[in-house]
Amino acid sequence: MNFTTKFGEIDLICLYNNSIIFVEVKVRRNKKFGVPQSSVDKSKQKKIKKIAKFYLYNNSDYLNTKIRFDVIAITIQNNKAYLKHFINAF
C-alpha cells in the first residue's frame, strides 16, 4: 500500500517475515539524470525515515516489529523494464 502524509509519501509498505518494509520506487526512462536509485539521497532517506516513524506511531501494533528500508529501481529502455531491488538500502 501507499502511505501519504503532510510530510510526503512512502511508495509501498509491506509486511514480510515479521518485518515492515518501507519501499521507495524510482523509475527512469533514460540515463539523463543517472540511475534511479541515485535519487534516493541522504535527504530523501531522512524524509522517508520521518514518514516511517509517523506511520509506526500511528500503527502501534507494529512498534516492536523489525523494519527495513528498500529501494526498487526501474529503468525503461526500448520498451523493456529492468528492475533492481536493493534490500536494506539504508
CB 55 within 8 A of CB 42: no
- pLDDT tens digits, 14-68: 999 989 999 999 999 987 888 999 999 999 999 999 999 999 999 888 878 899 9
CB 48 within 8 A of CB 10: yes
DSSP string, 17-34: TTEEEEEEEEEESSSTT-
d(CA 28, CA 77): 9
CATH of the domain at 40: 3.40.1350.10
What distance separates the 2 farthest-apart alpha carbons in the chain?
Answer: 45
Q: Quote the number of domains for the chain.
A: 1
User: Between 7 and 52, whose confidence is greater?
Assistant: 52
pLDDT the model gives residue 30:
83
| Boundaries of domain holding 25 | 3-86
**In this model, does residue 1 exceed pLDDT 80?**
no
d(CA 24, CA 30): 19
Tell whether pTM > 0.95: no
